Amino acid sequence: RAKELGGRRVEVFAAHMHADVVRRLELAADLQRALLENQFAIEYQPVVDLATSRVTAVEALVRWWKDGASVPPEQFLGPAEDTGLIVPLSEWILREACREVAAWRASSWEIGLSLNLSARQITAPRFVETVESALTESGLPPSALTLEVIEEMLVEDAEEVVTRLSELRGLGIRLAIDDFGTGYASLAFLRQLPVDMIKIDPSFVSGLGRDETLSLLTRTIVRLGRDLGLIVVAEGIERPEQLEALREMGCTRGQGYLVARPMGPRGVDSLMPAGLSTLQETV
Ligand code: C2E
Ligand code: MG
Ligand code: MG
Ligand code: MG
């Protein structure tokens, strides 16, 4: 009887597996088509100087417009990574974002660009050359580009990842650790990589003004970053008391819905220096 039950369980498991494999294959095919049919778009979220409210940079965030709706990156980046489609997709994002930010800078607006990297992208052949050519073709100076990495990227191929990123930094490109504080490797990452910036994960920022432990941890991260001479950016600022707490802790930059949501290129156009008053009123 036990055997019978066990056997049935295996069947159920196999049916699950089957559905999962089919779903993944479908998604892979959809992604491939999306790339060919230009269904991807970039939104930009402003990063501001918390003291002056000046926009210092925009972070490029990929969007997939599928059948009239936007699919969240969490739903397709994993499969894109598994199938390798992340490589051509990331190259498109890199070139497009460099071009758009270079155009904003051409109208005397000193903003930088932050880009999220994927592990597979970093270890792909000619990654460094691809970044260099995107800069050359767009005219964006290396110092205006910040590449964001998360510590999971050091899990495999750590040595190669560190080597590639160090080469890029040698060209004058900046490096940031995204989602800082969420994993055990954060501090090891700081030792291995020559980074310029840490971005405090929203899970800390969310507790400001509400949770003593999270507030203490945020304060500790801000101090650590400052002591190491790094730029510290707080992510996920949604409430005014969070902003106040961060300013008081000496955190100098921030990002979040309270400041500005991710927006299309036309939205960024309207933030150009002359139009900055809206942001200044919010912050
Ligand atoms: P991330 O790099 O940490 O980006 C911040 C995420 O938080 C974005 O989600 C942004 O829309 C969201 N966010 C910003 N402010 C707030 C806020 O005040 N409250 C809340 N609740 N959320 C806020 P998004 O665009 O869905 O991206 C999710 C993640 O997907 C990113 O996290 C990043 O890891 C990844 N990602 C996005 N675009 C790209 C890309 O072009 N390439 C790669 N490799 N990864 C990307
Ligand atoms: Mg990011
Ligand atoms: Mg983050
Ligand atoms: Mg994230």
What's the rounded Cα separation, in Å, for the pair 23 and 215?
42
**Token pair belonging to 233:** 């950016």
Predicted pLDDT of residue 277: 43
Confidence of residue 18 (pLDDT cuts 50, 70, 90): confident
Cβ of 68 closer than 6 Å to ligand 1, yes or no, is: no
For residue 139, which phi and psi values (nearest 5 degrees)? 85, 10
Q: How far is the CA of 46 from the centre of ligand 1 (A)?
A: 12
Cβ of 89 closer than 6 Å to ligand 1, yes or no, is: no
3-state per-residue secondary structure call for the chain:
CHHHHHHHHHHHHHHHHHHHHHHHHHHHHHHHHHHHCCCEEEEEEEEEECCCCCEEEEEEEEEEEECCEEECHHHHHHHHHHHCCHHHHHHHHHHHHHHHHHHHHHCCCCCEEEEECCHHHHHCCCHHHHHHHHHHHHCCCHHHEEEEECHHHHCCCHHHHHHHHHHHHHCCCEEEEEEECCCCCHHHHHHHCCCCEEEECHHHHCCCCCCHHHHHHHHHHHHHHHHCCCEEEECCCCCHHHHHHHHHHCCCEECECCCECCECHHHHHCCCHHHCHHHHHHC
Cβ of 118 closer than 6 Å to ligand 1, yes or no, is: yes
Q: How far is the CA of 22 from the centre of ligand 4 (A)?
A: 27
Cβ of 93 closer than 6 Å to ligand 1, yes or no, is: yes
Cβ of 77 closer than 6 Å to ligand 1, yes or no, is: yes
Task: Please tell me the pTM assigned to this model.
Answer: 0.91
Predicted pLDDT of residue 169: 97
What's the rounded Cα separation, in Å, for the pair 136 and 217?
41
Atom number, ligand 1, closest to the C-alpha of residue 150:
34
246, 237 in Cβ contact below 8 A? yes
pLDDT of 101 strictly over 60: yes
The ipTM of this complex is 0.98
Q: What is the pLDDT of residues 30-84, one digit of tens each?
A: 999 999 999 999 999 999 999 999 999 999 999 999 999 999 999 999 999 999 9
